[in-house]
Amino acid sequence: MKRQKLQLASGDAEILSVDLKEFMADTLRRRILSMELAPSAVVDEGALSEEFGLSRPPVRELMRQMAAEGYLELEQNRPARVSPMSYQALRSFCQAAPVIYVATTQLAAINATAQDIQRLKDIQANFREAIEQKDVQSRVLFNDQFHHEIGKIANNTYLMPSLRRVLLDHARLGMIFYRTPSPGQIIDDVEETVNQHDEIIAAIAARDLEAAGDIVRRHMDQSRKHMSEYVVPDSLNVPIQI
């Protein structure tokens, strides 16, 4: 890789470096969202530099960017770590996520163009296929992409950082409870989730702010139900002997 870079014109080398940086960013985000990199795991700057063929400065810059987005935690004289998950984080997520999702979706209903609607439909098609294939990781990642795209359409610089942080924990929680669904409920819930995404797209396309808000609230109530069922499962039916 280094020899090939030396043979390129300076402008081409710069483009290649930018492409590698973007590829590294996408890969690292996916590893964190899918929990391939677990919460609080150390992220080695040197290992990333070697894996992606980038020098330390652009890797360090990217890690600062991802820390600002909430994916990483940086502390002086300590290695970077994946953002942790805790009881407090779960509680904060449940409180804030509905507010942030409703606000971004309603703003998207104000701003969306025909091209924006088509992008959401394309992501939804991938989301539906992942569910049909029972591919949990792709389901979670396309759900993340769906709501992130809505945030981009909303185009609000104040909401986007909060949305990114909410989406991070939503994806990681999804990787947990979609792998251990409640018996007898997963089929109905899957169909309802797909239908709700379609309803969200329709509400945004119709510029119907009230409908968009109502649908997203129902969408989040379903996620909260999954989380509650996972955190507080049915008790074990074990006979007690005295």
Question: For residue 194, what are the CA distances in angstroms to 9, 19, 126, 139, 177?
Answer: 48, 33, 11, 11, 17
Q: Which domains does the chain have, with CATH numbers?
A: 2-82 (1.10.10.10), 87-231 (1.20.120.530)
Dist CA 203 CA 212 (whole Å): 5
Q: Are 60 and 45 in contact (CB under 8 A)?
A: yes
Q: pLDDT grade, residue 8 (50/70/90)?
A: very low
10 has a pLDDT exceeding 80? no
Q: Mean pLDDT highest for which of 67-71, 89-93, 121-125, 219-223?
A: 121-125
**pLDDT score recorded for residue 191:** 84
Class of residue 176 by CB neighbours under 10 A (exposed 0-12, middle 13-18, buried 19+): middle
Dist CA 239 CA 131 (whole Å): 38
Q: Are 159 and 233 in contact (CB under 8 A)?
A: no
Q: pLDDT grade, residue 14 (50/70/90)?
A: very low
User: pTM here?
Assistant: 0.79
Percent of the chain at pLDDT exceeding 90: 55
Q: Which residue has the higher pLDDT, 89 or 207?
A: 207
68 has a pLDDT exceeding 60? yes
Q: pLDDT grade, residue 241 (50/70/90)?
A: low
- Report the candidate in 31, 140, 24, 47 with the shortest Cα–Cα distance to residue 83: 31
- Report the candidate in 98, 100, 142, 114 with the shortest Cα–Cα distance to residue 207: 114
